[in-house]
A and B are shown apart, each in its own frame.
Chain A
Amino acid sequence: MSTAGIDIGSITAKAAIFDNGKIIATKVIFTGYNAELAGQRVYDEVLSEAGLGKTAIDKIVSTGYGRNSVKFADKSFTEIMAHAAGAHFLNPRIRSIIDIGGQDSKAILLTDKGKVKNFVMNDKCAAGTGRFLEVMARALEVNLDEFGAISQKSKSPSKISSLCTVFAESEVISLIARGEKRQDIIAGIHESIASRVSSMLARIGVLKPAMITGGVALNSGVVRALSKKLGMEIEVSSYAQVNGAIGAAILAASL
């Protein structure tokens, strides 16, 4: 049986094909302004990556904030369920998931059977999300992909106290003007995300082991800061960015 999962996020659209217990193809594209179109495109592209035709797919599940724009899906689930299914598939022992996406971050607790026990999402604010990092990368004129490596060199991370993305950006600009080292500023940004996200997780209680998913999991600096803040190891999902799409494909298999 072959199934597909499609995860329409605010910045990227992801798709995954699941075939008899295996992930055989994944794809990430930019969502752009038309979520419906992005859903079709990412599906077409993942199919050609897998070398399959549309008829080969038995069930499709959509997820993500644009889940209802995927008209050809058989069913939709929230990204909470999808990330839980994806993380549980990759490591059945996982009990906490930290998902940091483009415009929201969330913490999910799982039961020992991998079902969602509780969850909490960030409030209406981009601080502590991928968008926050993008804004900071622009202010610092650094490619976002290099954030992890650069921050590793920092010995004393700068203090970013503002809770708001817009104000934090001006704070960063004033740190640049003051001549603070780029690596320290970036490390400070990662710490500010870590403190926001970990307090969210603390609200529902941390269970071990924990996994981080979502595009921001690719930033090793955030992962380091977060595991330091929580005082525990955090496993990075081997499919960080497409974890939700994989979860959706897995959910489709049980429809």
Chain B
Amino acid sequence: MKKQISEILKIIVIFLFGKFKKFTLRFKKSKSMKDIMMVYYSEAKSARLTGKKVAWITSGGPVEPLIAMDVIPIYPENHGAMIGASKMGAGLCETAENMGYSSDLCSYARSDIACATVNGGPIGGLPKPDMLVCCNNICGTVLKWYEIQARYFNVPLFVLDTPFCHTGYSDEVARYVRSQINEYISFIEKACGRKFDYDRVKKVGHLSFQGQQLWQAVLDTAANKPAPMSAFDAFYHLALIVTLRGTPEVIDYYTALLAKMKDRIARGIGAVPNEKYRLLWDNIPIWHRTRWLSDKFASHNACLVADTYTTAWCGSMKYIDESNFINSMAEAYTRIYLNIGVDEMAKMVINMIDKYDVDGFVLHSNRSCKPYSFGQMDIQRIVEKERGIPCLMLEADMVDERTFSESQISTRIDAFMEIIKERKKHSPANETVS
């Protein structure tokens, strides 16, 4: 009884804090990421008080129907990134291993499963879900991970199965995924106890599309020399397009960010003060080492100007039909970067190499993320063959710090940069200048 009262009191405090924060935000000219995320998590954590439902959803899952029904979406993967960035990954992964999970399992899954039992991590655990939505367009691990959580929290689970698209998008796949969207809507209707709001989802879809366009525009600014932002900045600003796409907050935030980047371009300010070398990053960030890596590359006057990871949240925009969001979203969510063949991925990588005019390609072979890391060796070979730029493979993990070996990574980066510097010194472009 006592425990329950203190639990309710805690929720009330979180609720009031969120309300207060939201109120003060109205008077702020520019809202910081931290402020927005604080409001978002406090609203989710006090959902029981406001009668709102909470759904946990995979990072590549179709969130717009949930937002249209006032369900608060929560992303265990975003939480995983926060755990990694707070360097709390190893401890939580160990807890999961003590529970019996293999150390080969994805570290987002391990830390999330562990966190649910101990309410640990940087924000004291995630708000309890009323339902789970799992889309396997990003990997197969999420299936078991969400089944485990559905059992643990005893809540309904919806699985959206998106077949792997080696090349195109066949009619069979289109029909199969589209039919599941109807099931998804029925699932939400049942969980919320009311009819689905088709008018509202059109508005949400429009906002989502607009948000993705803005996010792409923000990332595009890095094509400028010097790049006004680096991939490390993108890793930070990404949080909103992942967690709040389909809401007006995203539009406001990225509109302001885009203006800021344009201003930096106009004033010639680069993310790396003496940008001489431009690099492309592949795979999920090494969240516990972003600062170290950023400094390391900057010490060589190198800027990671773009990455395949943050582009994933606007990479399949071309499949969205704004006037028919629900129908077209099936295809857009199925044909994301991690759910297409290696040749298609390599094509996208080569496009980025040309677009951002990079001198080298850094691939994070991520122990956790099998679908992202599996084809990397082939992609590297294709890039070497097609564009002839140096490539570097770094073995690490996005969250589990125990897999990171600083002096080895440091030597590899130094040697990679030595090669790039040597090549640039002898490149025809430089020779004519000097």
Contact = CB atoms under 8 A, between A and B. Distances in A.
Nearest to B395: A123
A116 B418 contact: yes
B4 interface: no
B415 A116 contact: yes
A78 interface: yes
A65 interface: yes
B411 A77 contact: no
B6 interface: no
Contacts of B393: 120
Contacts of A116: 415, 418-419, 422
B390 interface: yes
B295 interface: no
Contacts of A104: 408
B405 A124 contact: yes
B117 interface: no
B412 interface: yes
A120 B411 CA distance: 11
A121 B408 contact: yes
A60 B79 CA distance: 48
Nearest to B392: A119
A55 to B, nearest CB: 30
Interface residues of A, number: 17
Interface in A111-138: 115-121, 123-124
A123 B393 CA distance: 10
B354 interface: no
B323 interface: no
Contacts of A119: 415, 419
Nearest to A118: B390
B170 interface: no
Contacts of B419: 116-119
Interface in A169-222: 203
A78 B407 contact: no
Interface string A78-109: 11110000000000000000000000100000
A79 B414 CA distance: 10
Interface in B402-420: 403, 405, 407-408, 411-412, 414-415, 418-419
Given A80-B415, A119-B415, A203-B377, A65 B422 contact: no
Interface residues of B, number: 16
Contacts, number: 36
Contacts of A121: 408, 411-412
Contact of B422 (A115, A118, A120, A203): A115
Interface in B378-413: 384, 390, 393, 395, 403, 405, 407-408, 411-412
B392 to A, nearest CB: 9
A4 B130 CA distance: 68
Contact of A79 (B377, B395, B403, B411): B411
A81 B425 CA distance: 16
A115 B414 CA distance: 15
B408 A81 contact: no
Contacts of A120: 393
Contacts of A78: 411, 414-415, 418
A77 B411 CA distance: 9
> Which residue, B393, B408, B411, has most C-beta atoms of chain A within 10 A?
B411
Contacts of A80: 411, 415, 418
B221 to A, nearest CB: 32
Nearest to A66: B407
A36 to B, nearest CB: 15
B428 to A, nearest CB: 15
A9 B407 CA distance: 12
Interface of B: 377, 384, 390, 393, 395, 403, 405, 407-408, 411-412, 414-415, 418-419, 422
Interface of A: 65, 77-81, 104, 115-121, 123-124, 203
30 contacts: A65-B407, A65-B411, A77-B418, A78-B411, A78-B414, A78-B418, A79-B411, A79-B415, A80-B411, A80-B415, A80-B418, A81-B415, A81-B418, A104-B408, A115-B422, A116-B415, A116-B418, A116-B422, A117-B419, A118-B390, A119-B419, A120-B393, A121-B408, A121-B411, A123-B395, A124-B395, A124-B403, A124-B405, A124-B408, A203-B377
A-B pairs with the 9 shortest C-beta distances? A80-B415, A78-B415, A78-B414, A124-B405, A123-B395, A81-B418, A116-B419, A78-B411, A65-B407
